[in-house]
Amino acid sequence: MEANPRSTGRLPAAFLTPGSSSFMDFLSEHQPAILPGNRQLPPMKGVIEAPHGTTIVAATFPGGVVLAGDRRATMGNMIAQRDIEKVFPADEYSAVGIAGTAGLAVEMVKLFQLELEHFEKVEGATLSLEGKANRLSTMIRSNLGMAMQGLAVVPLFAGYDVDRERGRIFSYDVTGGRSEEHGFAATGSGSIFARGAMKKLYSKDLTEDQATTLVVQALYDAADDDSATGGPDVARRIYPIVTVITADGFRRLTDDESSEIARSILERRLEQPDGPRAALL
């Protein structure tokens, strides 16, 4: 696929030959060595210390879906970064939140974004939301070799299904196994605590504002019990990344909007440190 240095600037023939609408298939055929899953790692001794993203949460509401993540990355028992970004737009109507090995996860998201953009340019139409979820599943599966050596990537995928006119959430395991979650979901080290919080507070008729508050409450509870999850950091003005996906597309809440939600929760927690309580019956 390499260009002839004596050519007059023409693209190599591989770029001009009709083929698959998948960018990953294109790379597999012409430059397989640069795909993340095809990298050959030497035998490793001991545990590799690499920054890890931690907790991602999502919740649906009648008009769409909310996807949010904390800002802490850890490396063993150390805080590697306090303001890492873990939630990214995949395209106009979907987003990905990353948990696991941060460097590999960010690279996977960039390749996923390129995959969706390439498909749209070749086919002249966007993939269905389920098709996007399947493509991400394939990419996670290709990282299985890395995962077996302790470098796993376990994202959470959410988007607005324009055909069904509702928000949807997909979770994954390290083998690429895909599951659709109903109502809410969480992944990462603090997911068990975040899921427990949402289980008691979630309802199907949430408004958008209530859904954004719910996910920040869940992240707060996760940070309360999981040292790898970072809560709102008022002193450094670091707040969770909160995104909303509706029929109008992807939108990330501004820092002012996120801080307003976080500060209101912190004020209430001064009176109720364990957070809001659900009714017993």
**How much is the pLDDT for 148?**
83
How many other CB atoms are found less than 10 A from the CB of residue 46? 6
**How much is the pLDDT for 5?**
47
Taking only the tens place, the pLDDT of each residue in 89-131 is 999 999 999 999 999 999 999 999 999 998 898 888 899 999 9
- From 8, 17, 54, 187, active-site residue: 54
**Rounded CA separation 190/57 (Å):** 10
Residue 27 lies inside a defined structural domain of this protein: no
**Rounded CA separation 276/278 (Å):** 7
Residue 45 lies inside a defined structural domain of this protein: no
The domain tally of the chain equals 1
What CATH number did the domain enclosing 200 receive? 3.60.20.10
**How much is the pLDDT for 77?**
86
Residue 263 lies inside a defined structural domain of this protein: yes
How many other CB atoms are found less than 10 A from the CB of residue 194? 32
Specify which residues 95 forms β-bridges with: 89, 158
> Taking Cα atoms as reference points, which of 169, 175, 176 lies closest to residue 137?
176
**How much is the pLDDT for 48?**
62
**Rounded CA separation 9/190 (Å):** 51
Residue 44 lies inside a defined structural domain of this protein: no
Residue 181 lies inside a defined structural domain of this protein: yes
**How much is the pLDDT for 263?**
96
The domain of 218 spans 50-271
**Rounded CA separation 219/143 (Å):** 27
Residue 65 lies inside a defined structural domain of this protein: yes
54 annotated active-site: yes
Residue keyed to tokens 């890890």: 52
Q: What is the mean pLDDT of each run of 10 residues along the chain (281 residues)?
A: 54 56 59 60 60 90 98 91 96 96 92 92 90 95 84 95 97 96 96 96 96 98 95 95 98 97 95 88 72
Residue 35 lies inside a defined structural domain of this protein: no
